[in-house]
Chains A and B, each alone.
Chain A
Amino acid sequence: MTFSRRSLLKMTAASVTLSVAMPSFAQAIDELVIAYNVNLPSWDPTVGPSAVNPTIQGIYQSVFDQFILQEPDLSPAPGLLTDWGWNEDRTQVWMDVREGVKWHDGSDFTAEDVAWSLARAADPATGNPIQFVWGTLANHRVEGNRVIADVQQFDPTIFKWMYFLTGYVLPKAYYERVGADGFEAAPIGTGPYMVEQYERNAFVRLRANPDYWNGVPEFESVTIRFVTDAASRVAEVESGRSHVTLEIPYEEYDRLRERSGLAGVAAPVSDIAMIFFNDIDVMLDENVRRAAVYAVDKQLIIDRLLSGYGVAISTLETPEYAAYDPSIEVPYDPDLARELLAESGYSSDNPVRFTIQTTRGFKPKDYEMIQAIVGMWRRVGIEAEIEVYEVARHYELRAADQLAPAAFYNWGNSVGDPTTSTGFAMFGPSPHSVWDSPDLIEKIAPLWAEPDEETRIQGWKDVSRYIAEHAYVLPLLQYVQPILHASGVNVVPHASGALLPHLMTRA
């Protein structure tokens, strides 16, 4: 969700004028129309930037199935793979493939498709951005209805990636016959909807897959319009031209869901807001870090800036994640923050100074949140200077380990595994981590290959507690996604943030 000064101006003007508008929403919905917030640049869900764009996954998952199904609460469930696991010494993985599934062209889905999709994802020549994960498996082969692969490097999360980014099953025979361009022009999958018509930058029309193995979707016809401007999305739903939209400002959501004929659902998603601390300058002082954490009233930020839509967090794990530990709590305690700073010789008269970097408009109220935090810090003796940058610059600086002592970021983790949240964010050798102290590296390193799931999850909980005690990062909040829809539609929110038309029904 991107809000610039221009878009805010537009939203304000829209609010004033729209407050007198009241179109009718009473008609029964034959063709479901969704005003989507991003364009779909490419149909191959395993290659290019769109393959790792979380917002687009809802469209991909309407057409293609992932290896493993993910329920709305992020838990895995049998999908095209009905069962999976490792052999005893963890040198092989095995996957049982569902029978009786058809591709959209009517041909049979087979275990060959699964083996080929895994091998293709692992091939560096295809340009799959997650190839480094899929490359941990090799020598994929089919034995009856089972796919077997050799483990090159044990990764306890490999099956979780099978319902995460690029974890899609594509049609081997069809793809080999039509090639990449043919597939782009006429994509087929095994998913709940078939692509009927696609106009780049405009819309995609989907028709329900009558043979869908997991039940035929209720809406036979769905049009997804790509409406990237938030004000236009609001107008689309308010005028009754679209039935569902997402990523609109919380204020607009609150105003519109009260309207007759409109409703809303706002549920927590797997994205979190956080502030990275870099192990440089004053951040090497633990008192400063801990003071910076204790001085922030997260609930106040949620209530005042996000209209109450958010969940305060104390670790990088949200309640939906596998390694969430509710017993780890870092309370708001400005007095303790002052004491800690005093121990290091800082006070309101002699504040500790550092720079904090943030995006502006990349996420809802990101800059405003940082402004509020800087204000809270100032009251305890921290004087932070705000530096605004684009998110692209953040990625560059983070990869080069050149971020400022503090840097705002949002982290997505739609599989809910601790490796893809705390792990990648806090493990020093990863080019995407920021805090690189040896003590933390030592604690995290053994967990990457821990084969026992219970031990592994407990290990990550211990790491989260250690991080919280030493304030190596400042977790802020879990985002809530507002979905506005006509009251004639029931929308089931997915904790990954994906908007899935096949989960929608008539009210």
Chain B
Amino acid sequence: MFLRRLLSRIATTLVTLFGVAVIVFAVIRIVPGDPVAMMLPPGATEADIARLQAFYGLDKSIPEQFFIWLGGVVQGDFGTSITTRQPVLGLVLSRLPATLELSVMALVIAVALGGLVALTGTRLRYTRTEGALDVANGMALSVPDFLWGLVLILLFGVLWPVFTISGRVSPNLAPEFATSFFLFESVVRLRFDLWLDLVQHMLMPALALAIPLAAIIGQLLKQSLKETMHLDYVTLARTKGYSENHVILREALRNAVLPTLTLIGVQFTFLIGGTVIIERLFSYEGLGNMAIDAVINRDLPLIQGIVLLFALLFTMVNLAVDLLYAVLNPRLRHA
């Protein structure tokens, strides 16, 4: 049953990716903006335009271009970036770890903050503290992540400059990393000076991404916990004389966390999408920052590669959440 479910999801994922590939390929060729027209200075003739279009393979029909591209993708060749003249796959894979590290750090912060708010709110429910937490939660939710980013820059970048405003690592510290997972590698190499520098760069963008998500997690988890606190088995636990902390953490939380887990999975994909703006704001050298440059320069192969990878990421995260949910939820596990 589980295996069938897994295979079915993988098949759905492949169909989704194909659909995304078709849509992206068609859309970026329909919207205005010919990379060759943007590249050519005044004075170029029709023949010059045609020459450059042929040089970049844009002289063929759109279906022909699509099947050439798709044939390459199947063999692991995503084409060559027009702006950087580097293979798209290499470019995208070199930036993906930065975005993943940022997203995971944001998620960890969001879960920690949101969890803390939910547990505190539940423990102190019907008090003024709960009201204050609700107000703070509402504020965190109503301000978009890029504005949080700006507020953080002003607070911790300019007024009290403890964190770095832009980049991923200080230029004078940047060593030759073997992988693009800088944070992970700095720990493995026991280079804690580097690790600290990386965290200093990453904390503000991660926090900007995390704050709205933390608010959502806090709200849902608290609601879920409060509902669970009225269930019979929780009342029984109280009757047995367990402390309120024990009841919340050991009895109620396990059941209350399931809807939050699903939500985290869905929101994590949005969080990855949110990195596009946040990476730009903090000049963080991730996939999102690269995506904006690719769009500005109408770098068609790079846009296609990035979007396809984002789509793959989203579907993989959703698949992972589904599987995790199935493992944690006894009703699904024993179905």
Mark A residues whose CB is within 8 Å of B. 6, 9-10, 13-14, 17-18, 20-21, 23, 31, 35, 39, 41-42, 44, 47-50, 52, 124, 127, 129-133, 165, 180, 184, 197, 199-203, 205, 223, 225-229, 231-232, 235-236, 238-241, 389-393, 395-396, 399, 411, 419-420, 423-425, 430-433
| CB contact between B84 and one of A18, A41, A130, A432 (< 8 Å): that residue | A41
- How far does the alpha carbon of A299 sit from the alpha carbon of B255 in the complex, in Å? 69
Interface string of B154-193 (1 = CB under 8 A from A): 1001110100111111011010000000000000000000
> A399 contacts B49, CB within 8 Å?
yes
Return the chain A residue nearest B32 by Cβ: A393
Tell me the minimal C-beta distance from A127 to chain B in angstroms: 5
3 tightest Cβ-Cβ pairs between the two chains A and B: A392-B33, A424-B42, A393-B32
B82, B85, B293 interface centre (most CB from chain A within 10 Å): B85
Q: Which of A23, A236, A425 contacts B42 (CB 8 A)?
A: A425
Docked Cα-Cα span, A158 to B115, in Å, equals 67
B283–A202 contact, CB under 8 A?
A: yes
Per the bound structure, the CA–CA distance linking A267 and B52 in Å amounts to 35
Bound complex: CA A236 to CA B161 (Å): 11
B41: nearest residue on chain A (CB-CB)?
A52
A18 and B158 contacting across the interface, CB-CB below 8 Å = yes
**B222 interface residue per 8 A CB criterion:** no
Instruction: Determine the chain B residues whose CB is within 8 A of the CB of A430 once the complex forms.
Output: 42-43, 45
Taking a contact as CB atoms under 8 Å apart, the answer to whether A201 and B52 are in contact is no
Point out the residue from B47, B147, B283 that lies within 8 Å of A228, measured CB to CB: B283
Cα(A223)–Cα(B40), bound, Å:
30
The minimal Cβ–Cβ distance linking A144 to chain B, given in whole angstroms, is 33
CB–CB B51/A131 < 8 A: yes
The secondary structure that dominates the A interface is: mixed
Min CB distance, B220 to chain A, in Å? 28
Out of B39, B171, B282, B299, name the residue touching A205 (CB < 8 Å).
B171
Q: Indicate whether A52 sits within 8 Å of B39 (C-beta atoms), given known contacts A197-B171, A205-B171, A431-B49.
A: yes
B34 interface contact, C-beta 8 A: yes
Query: B227 at the A/B interface (Cβ < 8 Å)?
Result: no
**B41, A396: Cβ atoms closer than 8 Å:** no
Q: Smallest distance from the beta carbon of A496 to chain B beta carbons, Å?
A: 14
The chain A residue sitting closest to B293, CB to CB, is A39
Instruction: Answer whether residue B46 sits at the interface, using C-beta atoms and an 8 A cutoff.
Output: yes
Residue contact B83 to A431, C-beta cutoff 8 Å: no
Q: Is the CB of A225 within 8 A of B161?
A: no
Q: Mark B283-326, 1 if CB is under 8 A from A, else 0.
A: 10100011011000111000000000000000000000000000
Q: Which residues of A contact B32 (CB under 8 A)?
A: 389-390, 392-393, 396
Q: Are B43 and A203 in contact (CB under 8 A)?
A: no
Residue with the highest number of chain B CB atoms closer than 10 Å, among A131, A232, A433: A232
Query: A21 contacts B283, CB within 8 Å?
Result: no
Kindly identify which residue among B35, B161, B171, B281 contacts A229, using a CB–CB cutoff of 8 Å. B281
Q: B55 near A: Cβ within 8 Å? A: yes
**How far is the CB of B285 from the nearest CB of chain A, in Å?**
4
Residues of A within 8 A of B35 (CB): 49
Complex Cα gap A430–B161 (Å): 53
Q: Does B86 belong to the interface (CB within 8 Å)? A: yes
Q: For window 67-126 of chain B, which residues contact chain A by CB distance below 8 Å?
A: 81-86, 91, 94-95
A48-B85 contact, Cβ under 8 Å, with A129-B52, A392-B33? yes
- Assess whether A235 is in contact with B154, with CB atoms less than 8 Å apart: yes
Task: State how many angstroms separate the Cβ of B117 from the closest Cβ of chain A.
Answer: 25
Contacts of A31 in B (CB 8 A): 172
Query: B42 near A396 (CB under 8 angstroms)?
Result: no
A226/B48 in contact, CB under 8 A: no
Whether the pair A232, B165 counts as a contact (CB closer than 8 A) is yes
Subset of 6 A-B contacts with CB under 8 Å: A10-B147, A14-B150, A201-B283, A202-B169, A205-B171, A241-B164
Q: Given A132-B45, A393-B32, A395-B38: A180 and B85 within 8 A (CB)?
A: yes
Given A41-B293, A129-B44, A419-B43, 4 new contacts (CB under 8 A): A10-B150, A199-B168, A236-B166, A431-B44
CB of B14 to closest CB in A, whole Å:
31
Assuming A10-B146, A132-B43, A184-B86, is B174 touching A197 (CB within 8 A)? yes
Q: Interface readout for B139-154 with A: 1 if CB under 8 Å, 0 if not?
A: 0000000110011011
Interchain CA distance A411-B43 in the complex, whole Å: 13
B51 CB, min distance to chain A CBs, angstroms? 6
Question: Complex formed: what's the CA distance from A409 to B43 in Å?
Answer: 16
Q: Which residues of B7-51 are within 8 A (CB) of A?
A: 32-35, 37-49, 51
Q: Is B280's beta carbon under 8 Å from chain A?
A: yes
Closest chain A residue, CB of each to CB of B294: A41
Q: Are B153 and A232 neighbours in the complex by a CB distance under 8 Å?
A: yes
Which residues from chain B contact A39 at a C-beta distance below 8 Å? 293
A135 CB, nearest partner CB in chain B, Å: 9
CA distance A491 to B146 in the complex (A): 32
Given A228-B280, A392-B34 in contact, is the A133-B285 Cβ separation under 8 Å?
no
Chain A neighbourhood of B38, CB < 8 A: 49, 391-392, 395
Report B170 CB to chain A, min CB distance, Å.
Answer: 9
Instruction: Tell me whether A235 and B167 are in contact in the complex, defined as CB-CB below 8 angstroms, given that A131-B48, A202-B283, A431-B46 are known contacts.
Output: no
Are B37 and A203 interface neighbours, CB within 8 A? Answer: no
Question: B297 touching A201 by the CB < 8 A rule?
Answer: no
A13 interface neighbour in B33, B42, B147, B282, Cβ under 8 Å: B147
Known: A13-B150, A184-B86, A223-B171. A432 touches B44 (CB 8 A): yes
In the assembled complex, the CB of A433 is this many whole angstroms from the nearest CB of chain B, namely 8
- Determine how close the nearest CB of chain B comes to the CB of A71; give it in whole angstroms: 22
**Contact (Cβ within 8 A) B158 A235:** yes
B42/A432 in contact, CB under 8 A: yes
Q: Check B84 against A239 for contact (C-beta < 8 Å).
A: no
Closest to B94 in A: A200
Given contacts A201-B289, A232-B281, contact A130 B33 (CB under 8 A): no
**Of the residues A124, A201, A399, contact of B290 by C-beta under 8 Å:** A201
Q: Which residues of A contact B34 (CB under 8 A)?
A: 392, 395-396, 399
Q: Which residues of B contact A127 (CB under 8 A)?
A: 52, 55-56
Q: From known contacts A23-B161, A41-B293, A424-B43, infer whether A392 and B153 are also in contact, taking CB-CB under 8 Å.
A: no
B157 touches which one: A10, A132, A203, A239 (CB < 8 A)?
A: A239
Please name all residues of chain A whose beta carbon is closer than 8 Å to the beta carbon of B95 when the two chains form the complex. 201
A41 touches B283 (CB 8 A): no
Residues of B within 8 A of A14 (CB): 150, 153-154
